[in-house]
């Protein structure tokens, strides 16, 4: 168990390091001069040189990388060009909003998708299930920016009951949550349905039924209980993906999170800010995935007893 | 799967199902039609049908955009700005510069679909090669590919894609590569697992005994056996590719100006959402129709393949 955890932590650190290095290399490889983007359009060559020197862009690449890694271990990710503040601070100040949106979206998705998936599994191969299935496919097929604009038009413009953008009150959380949630509900409910379908066909369920367990108990405790590992994996992976994947929805609703920050940072070629964003989100993603892996022993006694789990 | 008769069996039956009229059975034709297997087959067929119709409704007009009697996508007439749909011969209305929206959607669709198809071809080839090599050779090849697949899971994917597009410019090759990069793990993972099963089958051992090179065995014997199953995921990937491309262009990281991609038509139209609903709604509905169609088609084909595969594998292959 300790060895397993140590191995997972090692993998996670490697993944983070690879991500950061990739970003460093990509940014330096690309055409375009950050100094030119930072300076005023009329800047002279001397001014550009001064800016390069100020941000250490005049040093050789290897040396830049060395400085970059050294700073990394000191928690120093450079100064954002456009905010004139430590890049890490800028990202961390935006992070709570993205986490808030991701948490509320994943809770919303779980609350709707699990019962929906169970319902679909209970009504397997009926016309009703086909209908629900098609509805889920439709939810999965909508571009998030489009469904976001549609919801916004309906609930903030035509029937102005909810705020259209930004985060000024908790009501502002509703539309972004629903927009992110639609896709997640579609994906998770179909996963639940698949897993439950397999659970209902398993022999242990027949045995449990013969022992007189109620249908409700069979559904929720036996079939769903056995689907817990893939379900938690999916919820966790979706949550981790959301921490860096709600960019589009954040832009639609002008949500003050990391996503809208990074779009702006890309426009202004704010390298330190991009690096800090990718680093922070990569660490969060990896941590969430590590946490999921560590919940397996709680969910599945086979893992607790040291046997391999097939998934 | 076959329904067993529990009704008035008179013992004289030969077990032949060819003469249902003569033998009364508790299982009526209606029961059979209601059984799960039939329902599954029906719903798979229904999905394939609806999916094909949806795809055709979008793809055919997009492909024929050049010959259809509609105005060009860039023909402006400022006196005809933001006409609602169905006025003045504009089926989808006109946009803020008086351009025909239908024409823009169809021509934009050509770009979006080309990018999508190119992307899945690239990701399909990379994924197939990497997955097959990992599954067949095992050892360090498998380790490298599997670690790469794992590493990509923890990558902030959309951020990376945006970053690459922003850095290297939003040209069609860059966007194609970026989408392919996002999608190859899906194909690789599936191919790897299929090849892992296939590699243990007797014909692979036979090929080896015959003295075939391992690469020849993989290319000529193993790959043809998995390609069909692996290709079923392609349609689902196409749906994702179209969505990803539209999201990138919505964020301004799509193919640039002369091309009107779906994402950017919507991004441009959202400023007028309070007065001209069609500028966002209609292009969006076209995307949804296409993606729903592709998803349904892919789903239906997969259901059908699974059903066909089921009895065959049980009959012919001993499952260890």
Give the model confidence (pLDDT) of B207-217 as tens digits.
889 988 888 88
Pick the residue from chain A with its C-alpha nearest to B37.
Answer: A125
CB contact under 8 A, A143 and B250: yes
Q: How far apart are CA A132 and CA A113, in angstroms?
A: 12
Q: What is the largest CA-CA distance in chain B?
A: 85
Write down the pTM of the prediction: 0.81
Preferred mutation among B32, B42, B154, B166 to probe A, highest tally of A CBs within 10 A: B154
Q: Each residue of B255-268: pLDDT tens digit?
A: 776 677 888 888 88
Q: Each residue of B183-228: pLDDT tens digit?
A: 888 889 889 988 988 888 899 889 889 988 888 888 888 888 888 8
pLDDT level of residue A104 (50, 70, 90 thresholds): very high
Whether A82 and A264 have beta carbons less than 8 Å apart is answered as: yes
Which residue, A227, A234, A221, is CA-closest to A188? A234
Could you tell me where the DSSP H helices lie in chain A? 2-29, 34-38, 45-54, 61-73, 87-122, 127-141, 144-152, 174-200, 203-210, 215-217, 224-226, 228-245, 247-252, 258-267, 271-299, 301-304
**Chain A within 8 Å of B247 (Cβ-Cβ)?**
yes
Which residues of B fall within a CB distance of 8 Å from A153? 273-274, 277, 280
Q: Each residue of A160-181: pLDDT tens digit?
A: 777 777 677 777 888 899 999 9
How distant is the Cα of B271 from the closest Cα of chain A, in angstroms? 10
**Chain A within 8 Å of B157 (Cβ-Cβ)?**
yes
Question: Which range has the worst mean pLDDT, A11-20, A23-32, A60-69, A168-177?
Answer: A23-32
How distant is the Cα of A31 from the closest Cα of chain B, in angstroms? 7
The ipTM of this complex is 0.80
| Residue B88: CB atoms within 10 Å | 11
Pick the residue from chain A with its C-alpha nearest to B244.
Answer: A143
| Residue B140: CB atoms within 10 Å | 8
**Chain A within 8 Å of B303 (Cβ-Cβ)?**
no
Q: Each residue of B57-83: pLDDT tens digit?
A: 988 888 887 777 777 777 777 666 666
Instruction: Give me the pLDDT at residue B171, please.
Output: 83
How distant is the Cα of A24 from the closest Cα of chain B, in angstroms? 11
């Amino acid at each position: 168990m300790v060895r397993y955890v140590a191995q997972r932590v090692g993998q996670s650190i490697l993944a983070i390091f690879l991500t950061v290095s990739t970003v460093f290399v990509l940014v330096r490889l690309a055409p375009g001069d950050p100094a030119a983007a930072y300076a005023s359009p009329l800047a002279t060559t001397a001014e550009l040189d001064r800016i390069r020197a100020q941000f250490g862009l005049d040093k050789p690449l290897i040396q830049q990388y060395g400085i970059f890694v050294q700073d990394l271990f000191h928690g120093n990710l450079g100064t954002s060009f456009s905010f004139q503040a430590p890049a890490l601070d800028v990202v961390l100040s935006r992070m709570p909003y993205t986490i808030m949106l991701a948490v509320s979206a994943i809770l919303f998705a779980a609350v709707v998708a699990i019962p929906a998936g169970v319902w679909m599994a209970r009504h397997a191969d009926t016309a009703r299930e086909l209908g629900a299935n098609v509805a889920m496919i439709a939810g999965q097929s909508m571009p998030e920016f489009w469904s976001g604009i549609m919801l916004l038009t309906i609930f903030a413009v035509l029937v102005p009951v909810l705020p259209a953008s930004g985060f000024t009150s908790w009501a502002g959380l509703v539309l972004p949550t629903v927009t992110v949630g639609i896709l997640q509900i579609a994906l998770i409910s179909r996963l639940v349905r698949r897993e439950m379908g397999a659970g209902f066909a398993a022999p242990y369920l027949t045995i449990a039924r013969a022992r007189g367990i109620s249908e409700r108990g069979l559904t929720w405790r036996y079939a769903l209980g056995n689907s817990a590992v893939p379900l938690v994996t999916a919820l966790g992976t979706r949550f981790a993906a959301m921490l860096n994947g709600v960019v589009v929805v954040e832009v639609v609703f002008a949500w003050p999170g990391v996503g809208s920050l990074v779009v702006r940072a890309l426009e202004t070629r704010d390298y330190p800010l991009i690096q800090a964003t990718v680093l922070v989100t990569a660490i969060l993603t990896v941590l969430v995935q590590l946490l999921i892996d560590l919940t397996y022993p709680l969910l599945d006694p086979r893992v607790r007893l040291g046997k391999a789990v097939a998934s | 799967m076959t329904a067993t008769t529990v009704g008035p069996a008179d013992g004289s039956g030969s077990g032949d199902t060819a003469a249902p009229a003569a033998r009364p059975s508790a299982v009526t034709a209606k029961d059979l039609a209601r059984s799960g297997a039939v329902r599954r087959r029906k719903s798979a067929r229904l999905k394939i049908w609806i999916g094909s119709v949806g795809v055709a409704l979008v793809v055919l007009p997009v492909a024929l955009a050049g010959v259809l009697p509609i105005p060009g996508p860039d023909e402006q007439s400022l006196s005809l700005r933001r006409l609602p749909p169905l006025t003045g011969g504009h089926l989808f209305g006109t946009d803020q510069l008086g351009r025909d929206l239908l024409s823009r959607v169809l021509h934009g669709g050509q770009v979006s679909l080309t990018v999508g198809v190119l992307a899945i071809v690239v990701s399909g080839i990379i994924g197939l090669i990497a997955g097959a090599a990992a599954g067949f050779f095992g050892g360090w090849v498998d380790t490298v590919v599997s670690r790469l697949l794992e590493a990509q899971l923890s990558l902030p994917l959309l951020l990376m894609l945006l970053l690459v597009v922003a850095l290297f410019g939003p040209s069609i090759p860059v966007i194609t590569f970026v989408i392919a990069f996002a999608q190859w793990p899906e194909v690789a993972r599936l191919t790897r697992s299929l090849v892992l099963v296939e590699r243990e089958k007797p014909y692979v051992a036979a090929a080896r005994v015959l003295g075939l090179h391992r690469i020849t065995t993989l290319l000529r014997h193993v790959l043809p056996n998995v390609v069909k199953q692996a290709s079923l995921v392609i349609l689902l990937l196409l749906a994702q590719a179209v969505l990803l491309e539209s999201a990138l262009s919505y964020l301004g990281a799509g193919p640039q100006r002369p091309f009107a991609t779906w994402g950017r038509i919507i991004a441009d139209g959202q400023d007028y959402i309070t007065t001209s609903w069609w500028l966002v709604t209609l292009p969006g509905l076209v995307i949804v129709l296409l993606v729903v169609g592709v998803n349904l088609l892919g789903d239906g084909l997969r259901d059908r393949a699974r059903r066909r595969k089921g009895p065959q594998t049980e009959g012919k292959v001993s499952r260890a």
